[in-house]
Amino acid sequence: MLGIGIIQGLVETARNFFGSYTSKQRLTTVQFPDERLIQPEAARVFPFLVYDTDDWEKGLRCVACKICEVECPPQCISITKSADKKPDYSGIYSGKPQFYPEKFDIDVSVCMSCQICVEVCPFEAIKMDNAFELSTDDRFGGLMWDKQRLAMPNSHYQAIHPTDAAESDAALAEKKAKAEAKPAAAAAAAPAKPAPEKAGAATER
Amino acid sequence: MSPETANLEEIVAQVPPARGVVEPLPPVNAEGEQLLEISMGPHHPSTHGVFRMNVVLEGEQVVRLKPVFGYLHRNHEKIAENAAYLAAIPYTDRLDYLCSMTNNWGYALAVEKLAGIGVPERAEYIRVIVAELTRLQNHASLIGFLMQDMGMSGTPLMYAFREREKILDLFESLSGARMMCNYMRFGGVRVDTSAEWLRQVRELNGEFPRFLDEFESLLAGNEILMGRAQGVGVLSPELAVSSGASGPMLRASGVNYDVRKVDGYGVYDRFSFRVPLGDHGDVYDRYMMRVLEMRESVKILEQAVRDIPAGPIMDPKARLRGLRPKAGEAYGRIESPKGELGFYLISDGTGNPYRYRVRPPSLINLTVLEDMCLGRGVADVVVILGSVDIVLGEVDR
Amino acid sequence: MRAEPITAEQVKAAIEAAVPGCRVQVLANASPSGQHSLILDHEHAAEAARFLRDDPTLRLDYCSNATGVDWLDSELSEKVKVKKLVDGAETEVEEVRKTKVPGYLEAVYHLYSVEKKHGPVIVRMRTGDRKEDVHLPSLTGVWRSAEFQEREIFDLYGVIFDGHPDLRRLLMWDEFKDYPMRKDYVPPADDDDLVGAERSGG
């Protein structure tokens, strides 16, 4: 009969309209920004640089090895390596002084949030942030993030990605333990030899 | 010739003149009468992106239809040829941006063939799970778009998007992104699935048939759908095969060809599922193929989530960086939701592919668009194009 | 369930038996994929293609992929032992002999059989060089799916397919001059130059 389809359609609409008061299945939207969905732990937006201790500049884990710069698919990272070395404030490089990035810029207008920089970083120094409300009125400067803008404490990483951060911390602790065990073992094995250069550098400091 | 010193003018001058090139035909009929030529798109709500068709009408009927491509062309292939093998994966996400998981898989499969990398069992199962979830959300949203094109304002599309949201939420909790998943790697997948994630998949999969029933009860007997879709845009099986049509469009014409069955790539030969086939090759059959394929995908998902073994997710020999396959070439193809997605790679032994080619199902399925539209009205062109299921990110690359 | 793969040698023998005078060359592929290909000559390519499609045992009715490849001019260096008179005595001296291999453009077709469910059989054709002799016979008459793909090869590589029904640029605009997928293509420094003043208003 002509018009049956219309009646069926109206019934469907009514079912969903009244259903939305009782069933979560039929009301799938939230009133952003008053209401917010919880982001999953894996959520990724733009990268940040991890630092330890309280000082963002001294505690940066990045050693300017430029692996992420090379591997970044849209080539949005630009790094200038320092001429001198800075002491190991983070305590993850077994006390050895390291190079540091004099300049570390990420052009977030180019970045495509692919996470490849995070995967290739051997030093757990760059991670993905999940902040997404990042609009700015400065088209160029505001989207070129320098290392100060990018630096975030490790506690931030632990807060947004607890599972990954625990893994990363464990990996660093293991690396540290290994590095500490090595000179100790070497010293035990060859007590007669003069102190190796590396140990000398450490004592100097 | 180094790019720095080369002068662009000189290079352009060296290029041979484009001989053998034809001009577009003037819009006149055999009697020399002027016909009406309209340009549909590139900014037209029915073209699913920036796609243009030059349609020539005689009266109400379409007598010629020439698609115009390239509005979204970014030379994806050149970008990938200038990047390392790994760096091309996030770019494949952006080909068919509804189905990043299957795009990743197609590329990973081709590289695995090229370099001889194996994939652990668990990773193969995870790949099947995410690929079938991708198929569910792609087909659901395609049906929504198709109904929108027919003028069923909104409801089916919103229903489809409601279901798609749930799948995208699963993708986000797995890979960190809803659409640009960047999830697969050569020799496995990037992160392992948790037991909780698999439970969510099982739950979603259990509920999905109910959505399909609801969807079908709303649409299958719908007068608008029947009137607009049945007998419209008929594609004969012979032409479908010759024109390289693939995926649901090929099978709607009754050709039994599903790369999942034919190649049995991954672990697809372990699952029992059927390949639905159409009889008429019209828009209605193409719509029906999607519904039936979703039901089969639900079956595959059920088996995959049930049988997934424990174990590693990455091949121990596979390396993330510095992949340098031996000189040679490989063509890998998968059944993506849109059709047969192929990647053709030539390696010259360096860290970048010498040749990287995407076989885009969306573009090749459009080869017969003109044939399907001839003799129909403009309103049917909209529906026929909708039933082909294109994504311009893949058509134009 | 799956059909036995057919080797490139079998296909070569079948073509040479069916198409007299057709020169087919097998190009081995060192990669683990083991996908070897056949190089067809221009004069018999269309006939050979039609045979591949219609032969009842091969039935390669589905041209899945057609694409271009650009091979630049290269230098092949091989070490040759040459006898030379050095200080009156004849000694063998190693010499590096360099031969120039002219570049060429290539069209590659990946063929499958929908009926027999086998494949891929890979067919290639090569142009004479990269500047003047860039003509290849079109296979659109055999497999319709080559229509857009050959247009794309023409657009991005500059191969001219003789006998193609509608050879126009596919992705780039009609006024565009160069072939962007060629290996020696240099994009203009400024994107605005790409569009150019000559580009028509639309």
Distance (Å) from the C-alpha of residue B36 to the closest C-alpha of chain A?
Answer: 36
- Point out the residue among A8, A71, A115 whose CB comes nearest to the CB of B176: A115
Q: Minimal CA–CA distance to C111: which of C40, C159, C41, C166?
A: C40
Q: Which DSSP symbol is given to C123?
A: E
- pLDDT higher than threshold 70 for residue B273: yes
Tell me how far apart the alpha carbons of residues B239 and B237 are, in angstroms, rounded to a whole number.
6
Cβ–Cβ < 8 Å for B94, B180: yes
Q: Minimal CA–CA distance to A146: which of A198, A108, A190, A96?
A: A108
Position B103 scores a pLDDT of 92
Position B12 scores a pLDDT of 37
Tell me how far apart the alpha carbons of residues B174 and B142 are, in angstroms, rounded to a whole number.
24
CATH match for C8-71+104-177 among 2.60.40.420, 3.30.460.80, 2.60.40.180, 3.40.50.620: 3.30.460.80
DSSP three-state, residue B92: helix
Select from B95, B352, B357 the residue whose CB has the most chain C CBs within 10 Å, as the one to mutate to test that interface: B357
Distance (Å) from the C-alpha of residue B21 to the closest C-alpha of chain A?
Answer: 35
Position C195 scores a pLDDT of 57
Check which CATH number belongs to the domain holding A145 and give it. Answer: 3.30.70.3270
Which chain B residue has the Cα nearest residue A130? B176
Full residue range of the structural domain in which residue A145 is found: 47-129+138-182
Residue B22 pLDDT level (bands cut at 50, 70, 90)? low
CB pairs under 8 A between B and C: 157
Q: Do B90 and A44 lie within an 8 Å CB cutoff?
A: no
Residue B298 pLDDT level (bands cut at 50, 70, 90)? very high
- Point out the residue among C31, C184, C193 whose CB comes nearest to the CB of B347: C31
Residues of B in contact with A6 (CB under 8 A): none
Choice among A106-120, B189-203, C17-31 with the minimum mean pLDDT: C17-31
- Tell me what the mean pLDDT of segment A107-120 comes to: 89
Between residues B7 and B162, which one has the greater pLDDT?
B162
Choice among A73-77, A92-96, A140-144 with the minimum mean pLDDT: A92-96
- Tell me what the mean pLDDT of segment A186-199 comes to: 51
Q: Do A44 and B155 lie within an 8 Å CB cutoff?
A: no
The proportion of chain B whose per-residue pLDDT surpasses 90, expressed as a percent, equals 22
Which chain C residue has the Cα nearest residue B256? C114
Position C82 scores a pLDDT of 72
- Point out the residue among B8, B243, B244 whose CB comes nearest to the CB of C186: B8
Over the stretch A67-87, which tens digit does the pLDDT of each residue have? 888 889 988 999 988 888 888
DSSP three-state, residue B324: coil
Tell me how far apart the alpha carbons of residues B72 and B392 are, in angstroms, rounded to a whole number.
7
Question: Is chain A adjacent to chain C, meaning 3+ CB pairs within 8 angstroms?
Answer: no
Angle at CA B262, nearest 5°, toward B261 and B264?
60
Task: Classify residue C82 as left (phi > 0), alpha (psi -120 to 50) or beta.
Answer: beta
Q: pTM score, two decimals?
A: 0.85
What angle in degrees, to the nearest 10, is found between the helix axes of A197-204 and A162-189? 110
Tell me how far apart the alpha carbons of residues B29 and B63 are, in angstroms, rounded to a whole number.
9
Position B294 scores a pLDDT of 92
Position C182 scores a pLDDT of 87
Select from B78, B85, B86, B319 the residue whose CB has the most chain A CBs within 10 Å, as the one to mutate to test that interface: B86
Torsion of CA A25, A27, A28, A31, to 10 degrees: -150
Q: Minimal CA–CA distance to B372: which of B196, B220, B249, B264?
A: B249
Strand residue runs (E) in B104-254? 184-185, 188-189
Cβ–Cβ < 8 Å for B44, B357: no
Q: Is the ipTM of this complex over 0.90?
A: no
Domain count across chain A: 1
- pLDDT higher than threshold 60 for residue B224: yes
- Tell me what the mean pLDDT of segment B208-218 comes to: 85
Residues of C in contact with B367 (CB under 8 A): 144-145, 147-148
- pLDDT higher than threshold 60 for residue B8: no
Select from C37, C64, C175 the residue whose CB has the most chain B CBs within 10 Å, as the one to mutate to test that interface: C64
Residue A2 pLDDT level (bands cut at 50, 70, 90)? low
Over the stretch B128-167, which tens digit does the pLDDT of each residue have? 999 999 999 999 999 888 888 887 767 788 888 888 988 9
Question: Which tokens is C148 given?
Answer: 């857009």
A26 lies in some domain: no
Cβ–Cβ < 8 Å for B241, C145: no
Question: Which tokens is C87 given?
Answer: 């200080």
The residues of chain C scoring below 70 in pLDDT are 1-5, 86, 88, 190-202
Choice among A108-112, B30-34, B197-201 with the minimum mean pLDDT: B30-34
Specify the DSSP element, H or E, that contains B298. Answer: helix B283-307
Q: Do B191 and A42 lie within an 8 Å CB cutoff?
A: yes
- pLDDT higher than threshold 60 for residue B170: yes
- Point out the residue among B90, B162, B173 whose CB comes nearest to the CB of A114: B90
- Tell me what the mean pLDDT of segment B322-347 comes to: 89
Q: Minimal CA–CA distance to B380: which of B69, B61, B143?
A: B61
Residue A4 pLDDT level (bands cut at 50, 70, 90)? confident
Q: Do B176 and A116 lie within an 8 Å CB cutoff?
A: no
